[in-house]
Amino acid sequence: MKKIEPWVPLVLTLILAAWFLGSIPAPPDSTFAFNSFGKLPVVFNGRLKPIDSLARTSLLEIREKQTLNTEPWKGWNDDPKIISATEWLATLMMNPAVADTWPVFRVDNPDLITLLKLPDASAAQRQDGKHYSWNQMAPSFELLEKENDRVQKIESVQRSAYEAAVAKIFDRLMLYAQLKNTLQPQDALDWKQELADYQALIPAGVAAIRAQQAKQPYDATAYNAFIDDFQRFDNMSQLQSPLVVPPDDPSGNWQRIGNILLNAAKGEKIPAAVTAYADMGDAFRKNDPAAFNAALADYRASLVPQFSGALHKAQSEVFFNQMQPFYGALVIYVIAGLLAVCFWFRLSETLRRTAVWLIALAFVIHTIGLVYRMILEGRPPVTNLYSSAIFIGWGAVILGLVLEKIHRNGIGAVVSAGIGFITLVIAHNLAVDGDTMEMMRAVLDTNFWLATHVVAVTTGYASTFVAGFLALIYILRGFFTSTLDEATGRSLARMIYGIVCFATLFSFVGTVLGGIWADQSWGRFWGWDPKENGALIIVLWNALILHLRWGGMIRERGLVNCAIFGNVVTSWSWFGVNMLGIGLHSYGFTDAAFKWLSLFVLSQLAVIGLGLLPDRMWKSFQASA
């Protein structure tokens, strides 16, 4: 036994590393080359991205998952059919008649379900009561549109849960319609043929229209057919679908197929990409994988000479999507955290070492994800709420590892694993809002301030959370277990004090840098905006803790309780102020994030309550009581 023990950390680390690496490659395509299709570059929301990303983020927005379960009424053990996001999007774009029957829209609000006359859950009817198809909702579109018109007139902060759900499902349906009109008009039956007919019709159609306008005799058949087509393509282009057609040379702008078809009437040529996608669509609809794969390969090959950069970028992003580094890190943090907590019960040093090794592995994966994202985006690490969660976790893990290196008592390890896990769960839930690599609005489009102000403030958040987490460990471990002796308690308090100092420095510098950025961009150093105020409260709270300590007004226990309240203050600044617009009105109280924030605050207050109880009620510190 003694001989095996030193090898446990290494072996377990290698096993988990192998698990992570093994999960990267996507399952091979059996028929249609969806993996290869997913790597095609397109432009949507102003960003060049692979179809794979477009599919995943769209499905997240519509269904709140990255995959599609086409048989949601079945239990997970009944082997429901799960298809990938790319396969769903390919079907939606090229064979919408099938995609329209899939239960892809998630609807939770009961009032909305009633309004749209959607069926309840019933395995016999093949309904789960939560996911519905386009076809199921189509009869109620008129009603929904009227209702949405009414809702749009209400400020989003004033909407009820039902009204918010109306606006949300309307957005989801719009996105779905945009995607459906990306490669062909949604009502196309045989698009390849229709496209060829349209191209052939153009000269006659244009002549007929000219003649009609000049009040001369004209070919009515050509005229009507041409106007019909024109109407369809105009609808298509109005929808602002993804831009899939590459420009003539890489410096130009990508185009929508709808616009190209309209411009073709003015004599502009139809680029090869349009027909290439029509070929793929034709083969797809006819269920001919060989023809589809051949057309796809031809199109990819045609992009290589000029768009190798775009292809390469799209491919790297698909790799990133498949790697799911933050998910992998999340799983390993959980395992490491459990091991480290077990170590507290004086089990064995091997447990602690294993935990540290695993945290190191998760941290490496976390870092790879963070850096990969930065390279893909060409941005500093934090650009939105999602990436702030990832960065806060990353910073906290480093601090925890440093503490563990110094103290070697399993506490830093639990901090690392705990905060790493929680922040990645938060990030995972934030990703539902859509593309996490969205473009930066004009005033935010500055890498300098993103790299300084945002990173400093986020580091301030991370360190305040680390102090708060250490304090939670102090109280929970001390109150519920007898493993906290006085020396460990003192060392915990010292760690908390040190981290609070660190947090004060970073939150102060970050906040003031934000002021300087504001001064640089609109001439107002401080505007009392909710987000600014939230950051200021963190600075003030940390300064308050330090002054209380210096003045001897609080001792060990007081410091610990104050640090826990730091969690409340920081979560308010991180999430609470964002909800001010929404959260403090009717909508916010049903908003999931608001619920979680309230629960978090209550839990912290409860722990502070425990912290205020006298020593004799604690399991630890009995000797001194």
Partner 1 sequence: MRTLVDRVIALFTSLRLTVVLLAFAILLVFIGTLAQVDEGLYNAQARYFRQWIILSLDLFGHPIPLLLPGGYLIGTLLVINLVFAHVWRFQLTVKKIGIQLAHAGVILLLVGQLATDMLAHESQIRFAEGQSKSYGENARANELAFVTDSGQGAQQVIAIPDSRLVPGAVITDPNLPFTLRVQTYWSNSEPTFRAPMMKNGPLLASNGVATRFDFHSVPETRDPDEKNVPAAIIEIVTPSASLGTWLVSGWTCDDTMIELVRQSYMQEVGTDMAEKITAQLTQPQTVTVDGRTFTFSLRPQRVYFPFSLQLLKATHTVYPGTDIPKDFRSRVHLRNPTTGENRDVEISMNHPLRYAGLTFYQYQMDAGQAALQAGRAPTSVLQVVRNPGWLTPYVGCAMVALGLMIQFLFHLVGFLSKRRSP
Q: 331 with 424: CB under 8 angstroms?
A: no
254 binds partner 1 (CB under 8 A): yes
Nearer to partner 1, 130 or 494 (CB): 494
Give, in order, the Cα–Cα distances in Å from 293 to each of 64, 210, 276. 30, 42, 11
Number of residues that bind partner 1 (CB under 8 A): 63
The footprint of partner 1 on residues 511-550 (CB under 8 A) is 512-513, 515-517, 519-530, 533-534, 536-537, 540-541, 543-544, 547-548, 550
Tokens of 195: 């496209």
441 binds partner 1 (CB under 8 A): yes
The footprint of partner 1 on residues 31-90 (CB under 8 A) is 43-47
589 binds partner 1 (CB under 8 A): no
Integer distance in angstroms from the first to the last C-alpha of the chain? 40
498 binds partner 1 (CB under 8 A): yes
Q: 504 with 539: CB under 8 angstroms?
A: yes
Q: How far is it, in rounded angstroms, from Cα 11 to Cα 8?
A: 5
Closest C-alpha to 284, from 198, 190, 182, 195: 190
Q: 205 with 183: CB under 8 angstroms?
A: no
Q: How far is it, in rounded angstroms, from Cα 582 to Cα 249?
A: 45
Nearer to partner 1, 258 or 337 (CB): 258
445 binds partner 1 (CB under 8 A): yes
Nearer to partner 1, 76 or 522 (CB): 522
User: Nearest distance from residue 409's CB to partner 1, in Å?
Assistant: 12
Site string for partner 1, 218-247 (x = CB under 8 A): ----------------------x-xx----
Q: How far is it, in rounded angstroms, from Cα 417 to Cα 254?
A: 44
The window from 163-171, 193-201, 221-229, 497-505 that contacts partner 1 (CB under 8 A) reads 497-505
Closest C-alpha to 331, from 19, 11, 1: 19
Q: What is the residue type of 318?
A: V
Instruction: Look at strands 41-44 and 47-50 and give their pairing.
Output: antiparallel
Q: Encode 300-360 in three state secondary structure.
A: HHHHHHHHHHHHHHHHHHHHHHHHCHHHHHHHHHHHHHHHHHHHHCCCCHHHHHHHHHHHH
261 binds partner 1 (CB under 8 A): no
Q: Can you tell me which residue has the tokens 């009561």?
A: 129
Nearer to partner 1, 7 or 448 (CB): 448
Nearer to partner 1, 271 or 530 (CB): 530
Site string for partner 1, 379-408 (x = CB under 8 A): ---------------------------x--
Residues 6+ apart with CB under 8 A from 252: none
Closest C-alpha to 462, from 423, 494, 436, 495: 423
User: Nearest distance from residue 525's CB to partner 1, in Å?
Assistant: 5
174 binds partner 1 (CB under 8 A): no
Query: Where do runs of H (alpha helix) occur along 119-190?
Result: 134-137, 141-152, 161-180
Q: How far is it, in rounded angstroms, from Cα 461 to Cα 566?
A: 10
Contact with partner 1 (CB under 8 A): which of 505, 593, 601, 610? Answer: 505
Nearer to partner 1, 413 or 503 (CB): 503
Contact with partner 1 (CB under 8 A): which of 291, 476, 580, 610? Answer: 580
User: Nearest distance from residue 445's CB to partner 1, in Å?
Assistant: 7
The footprint of partner 1 on residues 186-205 (CB under 8 A) is none
Nearer to partner 1, 81 or 547 (CB): 547
Instruction: Write out the residues near partner 1 by the rule CB under 8 A.
Output: 43-47, 157, 240, 242-243, 253-254, 256, 406, 439, 441-443, 445-446, 449, 494, 498, 501-502, 504-505, 508-509, 512-513, 515-517, 519-530, 533-534, 536-537, 540-541, 543-544, 547-548, 550-551, 553, 577, 580-581, 584-585
